[in-house]
Amino acid sequence: MAKGQINVQTENIFPIIKQFLYSDQEIFLRELVSNAVDATQKLKILSNIGEIKGNLGDIQMEVKVDEKANTLTFSDNGIGMTEEELDKYINQIAFSGAEEFVEKYKDKASVIGHFGLGFYSSFMVAEKVEIFSKSHTKGSKAVRWECDGSPNFTLEEDTTRKKRGTDIVLHISEDSKEYLSEFKIKELLDKYCKFMAVPIKFGTKEIDDPEHTPATTKDADGKETKEEQKKIKVDNIINNPSPAWTKAPADLSIENYKDFYRELYPMNFEESLFHIHLNVDYPFNLTGILYFPKLKRNLEVQKDKIQLYSNQVFVTDSVEGIVPDFLTLLHGVIDSPDIPLNVSRSYLQADANVKKISNYISKKVADKLEDLFKKDRKAFEEKWDDIKIFIEYGILSDEKFAEKAKKFTLYKNTDGEYYTFEEYKTKIEVNQTDKDSKVVYLYASNVETQYSYIDAAKAKGYDVLVMDTPLSPHLVGKLEQIDGNTSFTRVDGETIDQLIKKDEEIPSKLTEEDQKVLKPVIEGAVSNESFTVNFVSMSEADQPITITQAEFMRRMKDMSAVGGGGMMGMGNMPDMYNLAVNSNHPLISKILSEKDEVKQKDMAKQATDLALLSQSLLKGEDLSKFIKRSVELI
């Protein structure tokens, strides 16, 4: 039996490990399972190249919880270790001192592939750790190692162990008893080890005996009774060692992709719209499958759905910095051994390889969307409303994607027709170009609440787009930047005749003196500083009073609410409205000519309230009074 001190030039390595090496205590499970999987894979490689002869048997690893013994055990039947190897990988950790150790590893979130360091994560939850191991090499002796969390260890021959492989036994500390719960360990195995490349056994389960067919018999009365189905116990394998992304696309059917999506997101009951299979081995290694979900209006809810793996070992579902920000709205898996997992996020974002991978994924997504658009435009249009917020996000945040997206980005009008930007420009430029030669794009953010404005615009032969996502205010600004001869205005932002600014003007029936007389009457009817009253010469067929809001102020406010907009505090500013009085409408002339002051006020109030009601701006006491007044008028 040998005793000694772990070769670390510091009084105690373990507090340093706990404080700096891992951001999450539960990572110990991933590290120990990864080491076991690695040991079994090395055995397979040696067998494949002929260094190991004979049948290897079933290659797998096992995790066992023993609450009574206070232990958590990780067992594999992999390559195993000799006494010399165990001493090398466990005892001789060549750090020059505590300061260098901390400096080298404090920012590292993972140490996958470093057996010694990965193993020492076990001391985050264990007061004592034992290793029992026997090498695959012929004539090797089994060894036992023990350490109680101090630099002191015991290393001796194990005369009882006969089988190849390694058992790591964690004697769980008092403050980590949660890791003696089978439910907790199952949860962590499902999180970190769901797709590891070797079968992982966790207990047993009962299944129907495939060799037993229940017999059916009849009693004296001819009544049939069926024998009870026999059950057998089998290993409970909790992972899928051959997930879809590790296979060639040619070997997978559409149903295979759908099944894998359900496997990734068992609680998501909606099918994905389509998928992209990533597979590249130069200039970097990358595999994966990305799915397009039906995107909701809330962008944040969709994030953290892409899982990052390194050789099938789960690393994180926070992939900002590894994929373009807009692609974090997608679901799926990315697996790459070339992404440096052991470093901080700031380093990741500056890493040249990561940038190449990010650009590659963005290009593949754009190519897939263009291909879908070209192959079956009708099917693409049917999916458009479910993916448009993703496309908008990409256009706003990624210049290269925005350039490619011109070919497949669609714009839907209120008649449910879809156009590319160039197609739509051709459709409207004859009728919706103002006197300054700018093409005016009218859009609605809510078809229901802005119906009357849409109806008025269409009555004049204008077309209206539907732009109703949280990113639409940002997108219209982007489109105006791209094309300087373009102007976007929400359909309730200006009165239509002001908007298009045609050379021909409709003469006003009210003189300037009439307007001066009538203005205080209308202002008295709204009595709200948020409304500015002005007179507009419109058609008699237009509404008598129209509520509008300046496009610039409303857009800045909307953008600020989503994030951005370039003006501090804009989102908290009160709404300001224009109350446009149609100087040619008969009702306005009637209010002006009414001699009974009380009746004049009531008529003005009713007219302004109707305008407010059309914009859902009439509420509370004012709404109640309006209803009562309307009943009396009827």
Counting other chains too, the contacts that 603-611 makes at CB distance below 8 Å and 24 or more residues apart are 604/521, 604/522, 604/524, 604/525, 605/525, 605/629, 606/630, 606/633, 607/525, 607/544, 607/545, 608/522, 608/525, 608/526, 608/545, 608/579, 609/525, 610/545, 611/543, 611/544, 611/545, 611/546, 611/547, 611/579
Are 62 and 200 contacting, i.e. CB atoms less than 8 angstroms apart?
yes
Q: What is the pLDDT of residue 85?
A: 86
Q: What is the pLDDT of residue 17?
A: 57
DSSP string covering 211-259, please? T----EEE-TT--EEEPPPPEEEEEEE-S-SS-GGGS-GGG--HHHHHH
Are 490 and 444 contacting, i.e. CB atoms less than 8 angstroms apart?
yes
Dihedral angle at the C-alpha atoms of 383, 479, 414, 619, nearest 10 degrees? 110
Are 476 and 488 contacting, i.e. CB atoms less than 8 angstroms apart?
yes
Pairing of strands 486-490, 464-466: unpaired
Task: Report the C-alpha gap between 38 and 173 in whole angstroms.
Answer: 27
Residue 82: exposed, middle, or buried by beta-carbon count in 10 A (0-12, 13-18, 19+)?
Answer: middle
Other CB atoms within 10 Å distance of the CB of residue 100: 12
Farthest CA pair distance, the chain? 117
What is the CATH class of 2-203?
Answer: alpha beta
* pLDDT tens column, 397-421: 899 999 999 999 999 999 999 999 9
Q: Where are the domains of the chain?
A: 2-203, 244-385, 410-500, 512-546+575-633
Task: Report the C-alpha gap between 527 and 522 in whole angstroms.
Answer: 9
Residue 397: exposed, middle, or buried by beta-carbon count in 10 A (0-12, 13-18, 19+)?
Answer: middle
What is 512-546+575-633's CATH topology? Four Helix Bundle (Hemerythrin (Met), subunit A) (1.20.120)
Are 490 and 554 contacting, i.e. CB atoms less than 8 angstroms apart?
yes
Q: What would the two tokens of residue 525 be?
A: 């009817």
DSSP label of 179: G
Per DSSP, the three-state class of 102 is helix
Task: Report the C-alpha gap between 462 and 455 in whole angstroms.
Answer: 10
Q: What would the two tokens of residue 50 be?
A: 């002929």
CATH for 410-500 (2.40.128.20, 3.40.50.300, 3.40.50.720, 3.40.50.11260): 3.40.50.11260
> Which of 451, 470, 449, 467 is closest to 459 using CA atoms?
451
Pairing of strands 152-157, 143-147: antiparallel
Q: What would the two tokens of residue 206 be?
A: 């009962």
Q: What ranges in 305-450 are assigned the alpha helix state H? A: 345-350, 352-375, 377-397, 399-405, 421-428
Are 288 and 335 contacting, i.e. CB atoms less than 8 angstroms apart?
yes
Task: Report the C-alpha gap between 93 and 440 in whole angstroms.
Answer: 70
Q: What is the pLDDT of residue 92?
A: 67
> Which of 433, 600, 456 is closest to 536 using CA atoms?
456
Pairing of strands 439-444, 464-466: parallel
Q: Which residue has the tokens 């195993």?
A: 80
DSSP label of 123: G
Q: Which residue numbers in the chain have pLDDT < 50? A: 9-11, 20, 94-102, 104-116, 565-569, 571
Task: Report the C-alpha gap between 192 and 189 in whole angstroms.
Answer: 5
Counting other chains too, the contacts that 448-451 makes at CB distance below 8 Å and 24 or more residues apart are 449/615, 449/616, 450/490, 450/491, 450/492
Backbone angles phi, psi at 456, to 5 degrees: -65, -40
Asked if the 244-385 domain carries CATH number 3.30.230.80, the reply is yes
Q: What would the two tokens of residue 416 be?
A: 């449910």
Angle between helices 512-526 and 586-593 (to 10 degrees): 90
Task: Report the C-alpha gap between 564 and 18 in whole angstroms.
Answer: 40
Q: What would the two tokens of residue 616 be?
A: 């859902």
Q: What is the pLDDT of residue 96?
A: 30
> Which of 61, 22, 12, 20 is closest to 40 using CA atoms?
61
Task: Report the C-alpha gap between 366 and 376 in whole angstroms.
Answer: 16
Per DSSP, the three-state class of 580 is strand
> Which of 564, 565, 548, 544 is closest to 556 using CA atoms?
565
β partners of residue 311: none
Other CB atoms within 10 Å distance of the CB of residue 122: 26
pTM for the full model? Answer: 0.74
Pairing of strands 152-157, 2-5: antiparallel
* pLDDT tens column, 339-376: 765 555 565 666 677 778 888 889 999 999 999 999 99
Residue 273: exposed, middle, or buried by beta-carbon count in 10 A (0-12, 13-18, 19+)?
Answer: middle
Counting other chains too, the contacts that 262-269 makes at CB distance below 8 Å and 24 or more residues apart are 264/307, 264/331, 264/332, 264/333, 265/305, 265/331, 268/293, 268/331
Are 87 and 93 contacting, i.e. CB atoms less than 8 angstroms apart?
no
Q: What would the two tokens of residue 314 be?
A: 């789960």
Task: Report the C-alpha gap between 67 and 49 in whole angstroms.
Answer: 41
Q: What ranges in 450-511 are assigned the alpha helix state H? A: 451-459, 472-482, 496-500
